[in-house]
Amino acid sequence: MKPDITHLRLAGRLLRRDWRAGELRILLSALIIAVTATTAISFFTDRLQRAMLSQSSELLGGDLMLQSPRPLDTTWLRQAESEGLESAEVLAFPSVVVSGEHLQLAGIKAVQDDYPLRGGLRIADTPFGEERTTDAIPGEGKVWVEARLLPLLEIDIGETLELGSLSLTVERVLTFEPGGGGNLVSLAPRVLINHDDVPRADILRPGSRVTYQYYFAGEEQAVQRYKKWLVPQLEPSHRLIDVREGRPSVGAALDRAEQYLGLASLIAVLLAGVAIAMGARRYSERHFDVAAVLRCLGAGQRDILALFLPQLLWLGLVGGVVGVVLGYLVQFGLFYLLRELLPATLPAPGLMPVLMGFLTGITVLAGFALPPVLRLREVPALRVLRRELAPMPLRGWLVYGVAIAAMAFLMWRYTGSAMLTLSVLGGAAVALLLLGMFALGLLRASRGLHRGVGVAWRYGLNNLWRRPMLSISQILGFGLTLMAMALIALVRGDLLSTWQTQLPEDAPNHFVVNVLPDNVEAFRGFMQARGIDGAELYPMVRGRLARVNGERLDERVSPDDERAGAVHRELNLTWSDSLPGDNTLVAGRWWLPGEAGQTVVSVESGVAERLKVELGDELTFTFGTGEITARVVSLRSVQWDSFRPNFFMIFPPGVLDPFPATYMTSFYLPMQEKGELAQMVREFPAVTVIDLDRIMEQVRRILAQVTLAVEYVLVFVLLAGFAVLYAALQASLDERLYEGALLRTLGASRSQLRAGHLAEYALLGALAGVLAAAGAELIAFILYKQVFHLAYSIKWPLWALLPLIGAVLIGAAGYWGTRRVVQRSPLVVLNNV
């Protein structure tokens, strides 16, 4: 006999019948939960990542941008063309614009029709008027300018300004231009002109400081091929910018959200897997007789597999389809919850998440349901005569091994890193072991309840202690879910408020940067006149740390190392003759007044640790126009949350003199005096004010949305937990039916039995709540003390609320799930045994 269409038909018939009898409900429900959670998260991350990438392209103005101090070799442009890429050239240079007696240094950007390749320019008709996106560029003789230039030149829209020998009419206010202005002109107000006006203005001479910006756009693979071709040929003066570097600042929050959502979905998959394993075991055991009869009628082991495996496949298919459809719907909820953080338009859902959903379904079935179903093959035919004969129990290593392999595979699909997968699995195993021991302790401790309760309650509580492994796994499942939910609520509600209340009343709430050197005295006077108590004005020079003891930074520390990420970007460097007030020297010594001008540097201790920099090491910094190498003479610890200007690197006065500097400070301004800011901006148009109150508000909003989204996904974890509860209930149902019938025959009333069930599950829920409270308390303590350095107080409400919520939720679910135990007449139950 070979597996053929007859087997499939028969398998289909058995499946239909089992479905009608409710045998497969738990298996299918758990499978749907797993697939839904994974598909929803896959849809979400897939669409989000594509949206972020295209948004970044819009910010950049293309998929790739190359900045060069000279025009590019034409072969480079031809190579781009041969890859099918579009390209556009833009000139950026600083120049003085004039109107009447007013002169102003501006950042000129000369563009052609094809600019930008991605996204669009944003303009307004009046300063601070309504913004709109446009495909056009300024016509010849026209100019679009940043709003802050108008008051500086004392002109209005429609009036003219002079650039070199040209007179240009100010047509629009420029509010955003993709790609930025190149590093020479980023601080000056931006002026956009037509490329054709450059020669006529006659302002570019040999030696002029011009940045040539080349934008490229096209198919992603072509862009990557071109980038690969280009990179080895770049010179030090070239700068290549990829879309990934241009991600918006909420990107980090969304990245984290993606990770948490992915993790939550994996936990849901794991719990669903446990439910599937329990459901499959019951399914298998209830089919021992069927398998024995089939063996008796001549079915070989392969026939048995040919009959039962297609049932699993069918189940996988149905669960996959339903789960994918539900996941598709659920992702809309996620996008809705995170709508304020996301781009307004998103790419349409792709096919990848659908495949991912099916893959998850099949993997979970294979990992958790296959071993028990394979056992059917081993059922002895003799069971038809001797019912007590069952196949050998499965070996523990097989069951757990296959399940762990399935989870590892899914996790690896999600993380893409074998190391990370192994460490997460290892960490999870240790954590589960510890938590399991804690749960066992709780279970043991609860045995004290045995005394002083009535017979019904004792019966219920006994049920819990009689199957300790099952009870522990359920306490763990629900406990972890409740813990995650409680932690998220804590982070959202308590952490930020605690942090804010622990700040001093008058902690600075504004930073000001870009105070020009000429304006330092006037700015100080402005502050004093208004009684604004600010910190020192610190000079600030932009520079990059290039080498440590001659070794290139990117060889010493991976650019992917998040903790060291800051030093890969441009740093704010400063000089000072004295150690700033909230800094403490931890190694070396501060320089003496006579040592000014020596090329030495003081390094913040945290960054020194990450870079493995010690006293005496030589750090080389590069600037737009040169570089210096300085010896490390001291390490400082910095109190970052003082909200005063703080720096990774401080030099003695004089060292940074060759490089252009601006000044920065911070100060506290109460809400009612915020009007002073407008006056400050009017008097010092170049300065940029950063309002921390507004940033805090934004952080709070982002946090609220991200945590809500994670909680949304945790609902699936909770559902999967209930699937485990239901599967466990099913597994013990026959036994419960029998015991219930016996107890009732012996005179127990229905209400006594029901009270027992309630006691059993309410205690289970309460113990899960205690575990959750302990876990949440511990993690919150570590978060507050170690990560945020905040004072911690025990969160007493957790200890009352979580056990109560657990008892009510799980008590109700268990009470409902066991209702059948008292519905059938004892006679029927006992006759069927």
Partner 1 sequence: MSNHPEIRNIVSAEGVGKQVETTTGNLTILEGVTFDIQAGESVAVVGVSGSGKSTLLGLLAGLDLPTAGRIHLAGECLNDLDEDGRARLRGAKVGFVFQSFQLLPSLTALENVMLPLELAGIASAGQQASQLLERVGLQTRLSHYPRQLSGGEQQRVAIARAFAMSPAVLFADEPTGNLDALTGSRINELLFELNAEQGTTLILVTHDEKLAGRCQRQIRLDGGRVVADEA
Binding stretches for partner 1 (CB under 8 A): 1, 4, 6, 9-10, 13-14, 17-18, 21, 289-290, 292-303, 380-382, 384-386
Report, in Å, the least distance between residue 375 CB and partner 1.
15
Report, in Å, the least distance between residue 282 CB and partner 1.
15
Report, in Å, the least distance between residue 733 CB and partner 1.
17
488-495: list long-range contacts, CB under 8 Å, 24+ apart. Answer: 488/707, 488/710, 488/711, 488/714, 489/707, 490/776, 490/780, 490/795, 490/798, 491/703, 491/707, 491/783, 492/703, 492/704, 492/707, 494/795, 495/783, 495/784, 495/788, 495/790
Q: Name the one residue in this structure whose structure tokens are 């070799």.
A: 73
As a residue count, the chain comes to 833
Report, in Å, the least distance between residue 370 CB and partner 1.
21
> Of 172 and 383, which CB lies nearer to partner 1 in the complex structure?
383
Report, in Å, the least distance between residue 799 CB and partner 1.
49
Q: Name the one residue in this structure whose structure tokens are 């099918």.
A: 84
> Of 162 and 734, which CB lies nearer to partner 1 in the complex structure?
734
d(CA 292, CA 297): 9
Q: Name the one residue in this structure whose structure tokens are 């006594």.
A: 752
- Residue 260 tokens, joined: 């948490």
Report, in Å, the least distance between residue 830 CB and partner 1.
17
> Of 28 and 571, which CB lies nearer to partner 1 in the complex structure?
28
> Of 311 and 818, which CB lies nearer to partner 1 in the complex structure?
311
Report, in Å, the least distance between residue 819 CB and partner 1.
22
For residue 609, what is the enclosing H or E element? helix 605-611
Report, in Å, the least distance between residue 441 CB and partner 1.
36
> Of 293 and 394, which CB lies nearer to partner 1 in the complex structure?
293
132-138: list long-range contacts, CB under 8 Å, 24+ apart. Answer: 137/111, 137/112, 137/113, 137/192, 137/194, 138/111, 138/171, 138/172, 138/192, 138/193, 138/194
**Beta partners for 174?**
123
> Of 6 and 751, which CB lies nearer to partner 1 in the complex structure?
6
- Residue 391 tokens, joined: 């196949």
d(CA 510, CA 522): 19
Residue 354 φ then ψ, to 5°:
-65, -45
Report, in Å, the least distance between residue 826 CB and partner 1.
19
Packing angle of the helix pair 352-364, 25-60 (nearest 10 deg): 150
423-427: list long-range contacts, CB under 8 Å, 24+ apart. Answer: none
Residue 584: helix, strand or coil by DSSP? strand
Please check whether residue 610 is in contact with residue 558, taking contact to mean a CB–CB distance below 8 angstroms: no
Burial of 4 (0-12, 13-18, 19+ CB in 10 A): exposed
> Of 9 and 78, which CB lies nearer to partner 1 in the complex structure?
9
> Of 6 and 160, which CB lies nearer to partner 1 in the complex structure?
6
- Residue 807 tokens, joined: 């008892």
Give me the DSSP letters along 634-701.
EEEEE-GGG-S---SEEE-TTTTTTS--EEEEEE---GGGTHHHHHHHHHSTT-EEEEHHHHHHHHHH
For residue 242, what is the enclosing H or E element? strand 239-242
> Of 143 and 306, which CB lies nearer to partner 1 in the complex structure?
306
> Of 10 and 230, which CB lies nearer to partner 1 in the complex structure?
10
Give me the DSSP letters along 56-114.
HHHHHTSSEEEEESSPPPHHHHHHHHHTT-EEEEEEEEEEEEEETTEEEEEEEEEE-TT
Q: Name the one residue in this structure whose structure tokens are 């994996």.
A: 266
Report, in Å, the least distance between residue 729 CB and partner 1.
22
Report, in Å, the least distance between residue 317 CB and partner 1.
20
Report, in Å, the least distance between residue 285 CB and partner 1.
14
d(CA 159, CA 149): 13
Report, in Å, the least distance between residue 288 CB and partner 1.
12
Residue 268: helix, strand or coil by DSSP? helix
> Of 10 and 72, which CB lies nearer to partner 1 in the complex structure?
10
For residue 302, what is the enclosing H or E element? helix 301-337
> Of 146 and 303, which CB lies nearer to partner 1 in the complex structure?
303
CB neighbours (10 Å) of residue 712? Answer: 18
CB half-sphere exposure, 290, CA atoms < 13 A: 19
Report, in Å, the least distance between residue 294 CB and partner 1.
7
According to DSSP, residue 599 is labeled S
Give 15-72 as a 3 state SS string. HHHHHHCCCCHHHHHHHHHHHHHHHHHHHHHHHHHHHHHHHHHHHHCCCEEEEECCCC
Q: Which of 618, 635, 636 is nearest to 627 (CA)?
A: 618
> Of 19 and 781, which CB lies nearer to partner 1 in the complex structure?
19
Please check whether residue 181 is in contact with residue 155, taking contact to mean a CB–CB distance below 8 angstroms: no
- Residue 706 tokens, joined: 């991200």
> Of 18 and 777, which CB lies nearer to partner 1 in the complex structure?
18
Burial of 292 (0-12, 13-18, 19+ CB in 10 A): buried
> Of 21 and 405, which CB lies nearer to partner 1 in the complex structure?
21
> Of 150 and 307, which CB lies nearer to partner 1 in the complex structure?
307
d(CA 524, CA 538): 12
Report, in Å, the least distance between residue 737 CB and partner 1.
17
Report, in Å, the least distance between residue 20 CB and partner 1.
9
> Of 308 and 761, which CB lies nearer to partner 1 in the complex structure?
308
Report, in Å, the least distance between residue 296 CB and partner 1.
6
Report, in Å, the least distance between residue 305 CB and partner 1.
12
d(CA 345, CA 86): 24
> Of 289 and 340, which CB lies nearer to partner 1 in the complex structure?
289
